[in-house]
C-alpha cells in the first residue's frame, strides 16, 4: 500500500514508518519538523516538509493514490495544554479536520488515528475498557476526543474505514543495527527518558510530580507499552479496518507501575543512582491509567512482544547510551 504518515519524524511516527517500510509498503512522511527531526525518518520514506494545515489538500489528491493515512501530527504535552489550550485546538483539531477534508476529497479509504488513554481522565473502573466514559481532564485529551468524533462522522457519512488507537504510556526504543528509534522530546516531559537522562549524567536529579495521589505510594500509576509493540498494532489496524466503521482500541499491557516503581527499575537497569526531587502535581494528570487491551487482542490479533517493564527500560537505555552525534539514532517527539 501507499501510505501517508503525518508526524512521521516523531518518536512513534518514525517507529511506525520504519515497520511499514520493513513490511514492504510505500511511505510518504508529512512533517514540519517543529518537534521531529529529518534524520529520524527511515531510509526509503519520502519527506514532504510542512504543516498538515497547509499541505494536506495539495498532497492528498486522487492522483496521489494513497491507500491510507496514519495521523500522528499533534502536540502531546497535557500540562502545557492546560496553560495554552488554544495551541492544542488549532494544531490538533484544526489540522486533523483539514486532513480529513483532503482524505474525503481524494477518497482515501483508510485512516488510523493516534489517540490517547488520557481521554479517560480518572476512570471509575480498572482496567479501563474502550466502553469507559470519556472524561478528558485537559485540552490535549479534549482535542483527541474531538477528532475521534469527527472520524465517527466521516465513517458514517462517507464510508471511511477509521480506527482510533488509544495509547497508554509509550516507552522504550525500536533497536535496529542500522539505528534505533527512541524518545527524545524537547522539552522532555516523560518519566522514563527523564530518569535515563539523570542516569546518563546529563541531569543532576529527577523531578517527581506529586506524591499525594490516591495510589499505594502516592505517585501516579501508569501502564507502559513498548513503542515497537505500539507500532505493530498500527499495521494490524490498517488490515482490519472496514468501510463505514470507526473502531477504537486501547493499547497497553494491562499492568500498572507507580512512578516510584519505575524509578527503581531504572536504577536497577542502569546501575546508576537516580536522585529525586519532589515537585507539585502537574495540572491535568490522572492518578491511575491501566488498560484493558482485550479488544485489540481479540479483533486485531495483537499480542505485545515486549510487555516487561525491565525490557522496555533496557531498550530505552540502549538508545540513550548510543552516540548522540549519530543522526540515525536520534529522535525527537
What are the residue boundaries of the structural domains of the chain, listed by start? 2-170+224-252
The answer on pLDDT for 326 being more than 70 is no
Average pLDDT over every residue of 259-277 = 96
Residue 209 C-alpha cell reads as: 510530580
The answer on pLDDT for 264 being more than 60 is yes
Average pLDDT over every residue of 197-221 = 94
User: What CATH class is the domain 2-170+224-252?
Assistant: alpha beta
List of residues 6+ apart from 7 with CB closer than 8 A = 13, 30, 31, 36, 71, 72, 73, 74, 114, 333
pLDDT digits (tens, 9 = 90+) for 130-169: 999 999 999 999 999 999 999 999 999 999 999 999 999 9
Instruction: List active site positions.
Output: 140
What pLDDT, on the 0 to 100 scale, is given for residue 178?
A: 64
What pLDDT, on the 0 to 100 scale, is given for residue 175?
A: 83
pLDDT digits (tens, 9 = 90+) for 161-183: 999 999 999 999 998 776 677 88
Pairing of strands 46-49, 110-116: unpaired
List of residues 6+ apart from 247 with CB closer than 8 A = 162, 163, 164, 237, 240, 241, 299
Average pLDDT over every residue of 30-48 = 92
pLDDT digits (tens, 9 = 90+) for 53-112: 999 999 999 999 999 999 999 999 888 999 999 999 999 999 999 999 999 999 999 999
Q: In 10 A of CB 182, how many CB atoms?
A: 28
Spatial contact of 210 and 198, defined as CB atoms under 8 Å apart: no
The answer on pLDDT for 330 being more than 60 is no
Strands in the chain per DSSP E: 2-6, 26-31, 46-49, 68-71, 110-116, 161-167, 169-171, 206-209, 221-226, 246-251, 256-258, 276-279, 288-289
Confidence of residue 329 (pLDDT cuts 50, 70, 90): very low
The distance of Cα 213 from the centroid of its chain, to the nearest Å, equals 25
Q: What percent of the chain has pLDDT over 70?
A: 95
- Determine the Cα–Cα distance for residues 216 and 228; give it in Å rounded to an integer: 30
Q: What is the largest CA-CA distance in the chain?
A: 56
- Determine the Cα–Cα distance for residues 330 and 333; give it in Å rounded to an integer: 10
Confidence of residue 333 (pLDDT cuts 50, 70, 90): very low
The distance of Cα 141 from the centroid of its chain, to the nearest Å, equals 13
Q: In 10 A of CB 192, how many CB atoms?
A: 25
List of residues 6+ apart from 313 with CB closer than 8 A = 171, 172, 192, 196, 262, 265, 266, 269
For CA atoms 62, 63, 67, 69, give the dihedral sign: negative
Least confident of 86-90, 227-231, 282-286: 282-286
Spatial contact of 140 and 121, defined as CB atoms under 8 Å apart: no
- Determine the Cα–Cα distance for residues 162 and 109; give it in Å rounded to an integer: 8
Spatial contact of 61 and 36, defined as CB atoms under 8 Å apart: no
Average pLDDT over every residue of 251-269 = 96
Quote the mean pLDDT of the chain: 92
Amino acid at each position: 500500500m501507499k501510505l501517508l504518515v503525518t508526524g512521521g519524524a516523531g518518536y512513534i511516527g518514525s517507529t511506525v514508518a520504519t515497520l511499514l517500510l520493513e513490511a514492504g509498503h510505500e511511505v510518504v512522511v508529512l512533517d514540519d519538523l517543529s518537534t521531529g527531526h529529518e534524520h529520524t525518518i527511515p531510509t526509503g520514506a519520502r519527506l514532504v516538509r510542512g504543516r498538515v494545515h497547509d499541505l494536506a489538500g495539495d498532497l492528498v489528491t486522487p492522483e496521489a493514490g494513497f491507500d491510507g493515512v496514519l495521523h500522528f501530527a499533534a502536540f502531546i504535552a497535557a500540562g502545557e495544554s492546560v496553560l495554552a489550550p488554544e495551541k492544542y485546538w488549532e494544531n490538533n483539531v484544526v489540522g486533523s479536520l483539514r486532513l480529513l477534508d483532503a482524505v474525503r476529497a481524494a477518497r482515501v479509504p483508510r485512516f488510523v488515528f493516534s489517540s490517547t488513554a488520557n481521554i479517560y481522565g480518572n476512570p471509575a473502573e480498572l482496567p479501563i475498557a474502550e466502553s469507559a466514559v470519556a472524561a478528558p481532564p485537559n485540552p490535549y485529551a479534549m482535542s483527541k476526543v474531538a477528532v475521534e468524533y469527527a472520524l465517527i462522522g466521516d465513517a458514517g457519512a462517507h464510508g471511511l474505514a477509521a480506527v482510533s488507537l488509544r495509547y497508554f504510556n509509550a516507552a522504550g526504543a525500536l533497536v535496529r543495527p542500522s539505528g534505533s528509534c527512541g524518545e527524545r522530546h524537547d522539552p522532555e516531559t516523560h518519566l522514563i527518558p527523564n530518569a535515563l537522562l539523570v542516569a546518563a549524567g546529563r541531569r543532576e536529579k529527577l523531578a517527581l510530580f506529586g506524591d499525594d495521589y490516591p495510589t499505594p505510594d502516592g505517585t501516579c500509576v501508569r501502564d507502559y507499552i513498548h513503542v515497537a509493540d505500539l507500532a505493530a498494532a498500527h499495521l494490524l489496524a490498517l488490515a482490519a479496518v472496514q468501510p463505514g466503521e470507526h473502531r477504537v482500541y486501547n493499547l497497553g499491557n494491562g499492568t500498572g507501575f507507580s512512578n516510584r516503581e519505575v524509578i527503581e527499575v531504572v536504577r536497577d537497569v542502569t546501575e546508576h543512582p537516580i536522585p529525586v526531587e519532589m515537585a507539585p502535581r502537574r495540572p491535568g494528570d490522572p492518578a491511575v491509567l491501566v488498560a484493558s487491551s482485550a479488544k485489540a487482542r481479540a479483533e486485531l490479533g495483537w499480542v505485545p512482544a515486549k510487555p516487561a517493564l525491565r525490557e522496555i527500560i533496557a531498550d530505552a537505555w540502549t538508545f540513550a547510551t548510543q552516540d548522540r552525534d549519530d543522526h540515525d539514532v536520534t529522535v525527537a517527539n
